[in-house]
Homo-oligomer: A and B are copies of this chain.
């Protein structure tokens, strides 16, 4: 989901590609919101206080002292997940949530009958695994769409720390809540929209999430296949391809394999307006 490839990450002192990405964009507001200090990773330990994602991720809006509490109280380690590998499988024991640091993921739910559904794509700053708190087992699988790194946040520690730091508690609740409302939006797409509307909404949502993170708001590199997009949206890969082709030929977006550029933002919004109301209770 970055347009800059992830390079130079030593085990000792990983440097976040986000920095380079931000510098290359015009979005100076998002740029200012982030700090550029190096991540201290003594033996793969990471500290929220020095992470440049901290204003996108879990510890949003914490004071210096509160961040210190987080550093002290939360034993957080960094974990690498190669492209295509699972961060965790469905049904395995839940004992930590994961914050995406670099790269991106898909989460997949599978029915007893073998039906498969992608429930979402996660990028840097997103939390993964919240659905496992209830039963103590992960109800989805999480798979890396590219070589990725995550912060491992032990849930037991998080429980304790959120009791100690109200601002952290508030934001943790916010992130769980956001997951819920995001899911509702996806259900809206799945339940009543035409193929074109689903794709348009998907693209707009993706661009928006990238914009918030300081990336370009007009072009992006998809990290997922047509089939994966289809699985999220309840469409077949051929349908996804056809719709993208149509949007390309009508001059709404420029599609070049996985490189997408929005050429006519108004037209993209009008794809949604044009769609008839299919469900009114």
**Which residues of A come within 8 Å of B, CB atoms?**
108-109, 111-119, 130-135, 139-140, 159, 162-164, 166, 169-170, 173-181, 183-188, 190-193, 197, 227-228, 231-234, 272-273, 275, 277-281
Copy number in this complex? 2
Nearest B residue to A279 via CB reads B116
Measured in the bound complex, the distance between the Cα atoms of B230 and A279 in whole Å is: 9
Report yes or no: A234 in contact with B184, Cβ–Cβ below 8 A: no
In the bound complex, CA of A175 to CA of B180 (Å): 11
Give chain A's interface secondary structure class: helix
Residues of B contacting A272 in the complex (Cβ-Cβ under 8 angstroms): 111-113
- Contact between chains at B116 and A280 (CB < 8 Å): yes
Q: For the complex, give the distance between the alpha carbons of A19 and B199 in Å.
A: 49
Q: Is the Cβ of A130 less than 8 Å from the Cβ of B279?
A: no
Is A228 a contact partner of B281 (Cβ separation < 8 A)? Answer: yes
Q: Is the CB of B277 within 8 A of A114?
A: yes
Q: Is the Cβ of A234 less than 8 Å from the Cβ of B131?
A: no
Output the least CB separation between A260 and chain B (Å): 21
- How far does the alpha carbon of A37 sit from the alpha carbon of B113 in the complex, in Å? 43
Instruction: Tell me the complex Cα distance, A227–B281, Å.
Output: 7
Residues on B with beta carbons closer than 8 Å to the beta carbon of A228? 281
Is B273 a contact partner of A131 (Cβ separation < 8 A)? no
The list of the 6 closest CB pairs from A to B, nearest first, reads A133-B177, A190-B190, A183-B183, A134-B177, A191-B234, A131-B181
- Known contacts A118-B281, A159-B170, A162-B169; is A111 also within 8 Å of B188 by CB? yes
CA distance A29 to B251 in the complex (A): 63
Among A130, A159, A166, A177, max chain B CB count under 10 A is at: A177
Q: Which residues of B contact A116 (CB under 8 A)?
A: 192, 277, 279-281
A86 CB to closest chain B CB (Å) equals 12
11 further contact pairs, Cβ within 8 A, besides A109-B185, A117-B191, A130-B176: A113-B197, A115-B277, A115-B279, A116-B192, A117-B192, A130-B180, A133-B176, A162-B163, A163-B164, A191-B231, A192-B231
Chain B min CB distance to A142 (Å): 12
Chain B residues near A177 (CB-CB < 8 A): 130-134, 176
Determine the distance from Cα of A217 to Cα of B163 in the docked complex, in whole angstroms: 39
CB distance from A105 to the nearest CB of B (A): 13
Known: A116-B281, A228-B281, A281-B228. A109 touches B188 (CB 8 A): yes
Chain B residue nearest to A138 in the complex (CB): B181
Are A169 and B159 interface neighbours, CB within 8 A?
yes
